[in-house]
Amino acid sequence: MKTYRIQARALGKYLVDTIKADSSDKALINFSKKVKEGLIEIINEDFYLNHITFITYEELNESGENRSVEKTSTPGT
């Protein structure tokens, strides 16, 4: 099972949640179900165009490694 962070922006609203699923398709379906059930907070947002719907998702790294910009080094520095 993988973890996905899904964000949606539509009609001046912003929705975001983390979903565990076997695939990205199933994660998007579960996200949609949670929206219909009212389980995801809807945040008013005027930054994006109201007439365009944006839906993005990313697979999160659940390996337990905690990496950040401060801990990452570049060879030769």
Residues with Cβ within 8 Å of 2's Cβ and at least 6 positions away in sequence, in order, are 20, 21, 22, 23, 27, 59, 60, 62
* Separation of alpha carbons 57 and 11, rounded Å: 19
- The pLDDT score that the predictor gives to residue 44 is 93
pLDDT at residue number 72: 47
Entry pTM:
0.74
Q: Could you report how far apart the first and last alpha carbons of the chain are, in Å?
A: 38
pLDDT at 69: 47
pLDDT of residue 47: 77
Ranges under pLDDT 70 in the chain: 63-77
Q: What is the pLDDT of residues 37-52, one digit of tens each?
A: 999 999 998 777 778 8
Q: Tell me if 14 sits within 8 A of 8, measured CB to CB.
A: yes
DSSP 16-46: EEEEEESSHHHHHHHHHHHHHTT-S--EE--
